[in-house]
Amino acid sequence: MEKNLALVLVLAPFLGFLFNVFFGKKAGKNIVGIIGTLSVAVSFAVSLYFFLQINETKKPIIIDLFDWFSLQSFKINFGFLLDQLSLLWLLFVTGIGALIHLYSISYMHDDENMHKFFAYLNLFIFFMITLVIGSNLLVMFIGWEGVGLCSYLLIGFWHKNQDYNDAAKKAFIMNRIGDLGFLIGIFTIGFLFSTIDFVDLKEVVLGGTNSGNTLWIGIAALALFIGASGKSAQIPLYTWLPDAMAGPTPVSALIHAATMVTAGIFMITRMNFLFEMAPLIQNIIAIVGAVTALVAATIGLVQNDIKKVLAYSTVSQLGLMFLALGLGAYEVAVFHVITHAFFKACLFLGSGSVIHALHGEQDMRKMGGLKNVMKITFVTFLIASLAISGIPPFSGFFSKDEILMIAFENNITLWIIASLASIMTAFYMFRLLYLTFFKEFRGTEEQKHHLHESPSLITFPLIVLAILAAIGGLISLPGNSWLHEYLAPVLPAVINEEHAFGTTEYMLMTIAVIGGLIGIGIAFAKYIKQNQVPKEDAQIVGFSKILYNKYYVDEFYELIIVKPINVLSNFFRDTIETALSAVVFGFGKAAEAVGTKGKILQNGSIGFYLFAFVLGVCAILTCLFLAK
């Protein structure tokens, strides 16, 4: 029963994918949308069933499908592990996934390749589910690679634009670098513990047979972290995520904000017992997370493309999650993943609604004044912005506050960095909100004429997500955390249990809220009071120019990685390959030259032939006699 249900859970989106690939074009756009959405909704229903069951029994469900392969004593099963962690992930992957499918029905309705779009989306959900419920690292890796592929396909969905194709390739290649780290991590773990199954691994690692081997455990943890930083867009592999905004907006919402980019966090949480044994790597994770949060937030301050702002905000929020992971607060990271999924999906879908209304315009300098026309979009966007800025009582407040608190307890510098990032987050989110929805409309007359609220298929997911973004914090209230108890079986025991909620915590909360309000206040002063509009690209000078150009990181990578590789490739092509082919062609040329000369001997004169024949026989005989 459980086995069959789990198969339904995994295969429903896959069947949706097959249908949309093979019959999508004939079936028509409505059918495609319904099938695509339903297949994900089925998965959501099954996840919900499992979730309720496990919430009751508190026992993980392990499903072994078949023996995949074995090398001597090293056996790998193909199986699923449905425990508290994976079910939590499944719930929001399939739940938000279903909402975004619904949204896409309307959003992509005018696209000629809508069936392809839904096919890719379904395939993505299929791989994401595989990633989440795999019972060992290799099954997870299948999903890991699969979501990378779908991300590539969807970023480059409008493949007639070469820039979009380049963005897709960039995402894919950046991810490959991370994937290599992940693979090395899997191999190292297999070598160390001779198993890669999560349940066995946890036993072996906690059993401590190999705990003396800190160096190798550190290498494994570092390799896994590199994998995670590729997928979850951390320094130094984060540059692909902002470019990934080339894809259609539902894709940005689903893959590049809510689900796929949290795969790295999922993986590290899954392997928490390993990271606990490598404190040095944990420190690295925390520092990388904090720095990423700050750097991405500063870049986000000056971007003018509505989706780019959200993209950098995603990178920044992911950085905060990694900060929490590095400090050993897995539950807090998971909490922030969930609340972030709600409000970031809402923000992206809201921006999609705006872009839809403006017929593809993404530059905030050409927006403005939309709040009167697009009431639902505005309200949902406002709620999500308040949530991401950490204003109580919205969900982001609780999760971000917990991260800041953990940071404060561990290291004051990390706390300052994270707080700065939060203030900036509040600023750029409200900058976005003010520029988009307030004041006068700055686009063309024709656009103004066509402004409209989006259809209900678009606004419905927005409303649901806004509600979730508003109340999502309830799952982990300070002092009385449902999430904490729910996740306790899969996470390491916290040594000093939740200490009493004292004045320090209240002070920190107040500081965080004031910080958020300051950010909002600056944005209000700048864009509402002084009525500023960001300058044209050419007029940007000074530090903001550096920020606007993203610290020139892309150019830097271009210079130190892409250029040398190109030079090397050119060298191999022009020099080495030329030399090698010269040798190969040389043999051919030599044979031809000998042939041309030798042709003269074949002059057709029988007398000459006979003479040569006799001469030859004489030569052979002489040789034979001399050899004797």
Partner 1 sequence: MNNILNQIGIENYIFLSVILFCIGVFGVLYRRNAIIVFMSIEIMLNAVNLLFVAFSTYHQDAQGQVFVFFSMAVAAAEVAVGLAILVSIFKNLGSIDINNLKNLKG
Binding segment for partner 1 among 114-122, 366-374, 575-583, 605-613 (CB under 8 A)?
605-613
Q: Which two tokens stand for residue 162?
A: 């070469």
- The DSSP H or E segment spanning 76 is strand 74-82
Q: Is position 602 an interface residue for partner 1 (rule: CB under 8 A)?
A: yes
Closer to partner 1 at the Cβ: 474 or 591?
Answer: 591
CA 576 from centroid of its chain's CA atoms? 38
Q: Is position 624 an interface residue for partner 1 (rule: CB under 8 A)?
A: no
- The DSSP H or E segment spanning 82 is strand 74-82
Q: Which of 536, 605, 624, 628 binds partner 1 (CB under 8 A)?
A: 605
Closer to partner 1 at the Cβ: 580 or 617?
Answer: 617
Q: Which of 591, 610, 619, 620 binds partner 1 (CB under 8 A)?
A: 610
- Per the listing, tokens 């425990």 go with 83
Helices (H), 411-531: 412-437, 445-450, 456-471, 482-487, 503-524
Q: Could you tell me the smallest distance in angstroms from the CB atom of residue 591 to partner 1?
A: 16
Closer to partner 1 at the Cβ: 4 or 605?
Answer: 605
Binding segment for partner 1 among 138-146, 330-338, 439-447, 608-616 (CB under 8 A)?
608-616
- Per the listing, tokens 């809510």 go with 258
Q: Could you tell me the smallest distance in angstroms from the CB atom of residue 616 to partner 1?
A: 13
Contact of 359 with 447, CB cutoff 8 Å: yes
Closer to partner 1 at the Cβ: 1 or 606?
Answer: 606
Sign of CA dihedral 265, 268, 273, 276: negative
CA angle 506, 507, 508 (to 5 degrees): 90
With CB under 8 A, what is the number of residues at the site for partner 1? 10
Contact of 350 with 309, CB cutoff 8 Å: no
- The DSSP H or E segment spanning 620 is helix 606-627
Binding segment for partner 1 among 149-157, 389-397, 502-510, 602-610 (CB under 8 A)?
602-610
Q: Is position 599 an interface residue for partner 1 (rule: CB under 8 A)?
A: yes
Q: Is position 596 an interface residue for partner 1 (rule: CB under 8 A)?
A: no
- CA pair distance 471, 150, nearest whole angstrom: 31
- Closest-CA residue to 106 (of 340, 305, 344, 355): 355
Query: What residues between 155 and 174 interact with partner 1 by CB under 8 A?
Result: none
Closer to partner 1 at the Cβ: 590 or 612?
Answer: 612
Q: Is position 604 an interface residue for partner 1 (rule: CB under 8 A)?
A: yes
Contact of 414 with 407, CB cutoff 8 Å: yes
Q: Which of 569, 611, 616, 620 binds partner 1 (CB under 8 A)?
A: 611
- The DSSP H or E segment spanning 288 is helix 279-300
Query: What residues between 212 and 241 interact with partner 1 by CB under 8 A?
Result: none
Closer to partner 1 at the Cβ: 68 or 609?
Answer: 609
Query: What residues between 43 and 62 interact with partner 1 by CB under 8 A?
Result: none
Closer to partner 1 at the Cβ: 590 or 610?
Answer: 610
Q: Per-residue x/- marks for partner 1, 377-416, CB under 8 A?
A: ----------------------------------------
Q: Is position 603 an interface residue for partner 1 (rule: CB under 8 A)?
A: yes
Q: Diameter of the chain by CA atoms?
A: 119
Closer to partner 1 at the Cβ: 525 or 615?
Answer: 615
Q: Could you tell me the smallest distance in angstroms from the CB atom of residue 625 to partner 1?
A: 14
Binding segment for partner 1 among 71-79, 200-208, 569-577, 599-607 (CB under 8 A)?
599-607
Closer to partner 1 at the Cβ: 541 or 612?
Answer: 612
- Per the listing, tokens 């066509």 go with 450
Binding segment for partner 1 among 17-25, 425-433, 546-554, 595-603 (CB under 8 A)?
595-603
Contact of 82 with 61, CB cutoff 8 Å: yes
Q: How many CB atoms lie within 10 A of CB 69?
A: 10
Q: Which two tokens stand for residue 111?
A: 């696209």
Q: Is position 191 an interface residue for partner 1 (rule: CB under 8 A)?
A: no
Binding segment for partner 1 among 142-150, 164-172, 250-258, 596-604 (CB under 8 A)?
596-604
Binding segment for partner 1 among 56-64, 299-307, 414-422, 598-606 (CB under 8 A)?
598-606
Helices (H), 537-605: 542-548, 553-557, 563-571, 577-599
Long-range own/partner contacts, residues 196-203 (CB < 8 A, 24 or more apart)? 196/76, 196/136, 196/137, 196/138, 197/76, 197/77, 197/135, 197/136, 198/81, 198/135, 198/136, 198/137, 198/270, 198/271, 199/60, 199/62, 199/81, 199/135, 201/271, 201/273, 201/274, 202/273
Q: Which of 559, 614, 619, 623 binds partner 1 (CB under 8 A)?
A: 614
Binding residues for partner 1, rule: CB under 8 A, are 599, 602-607, 610-611, 614
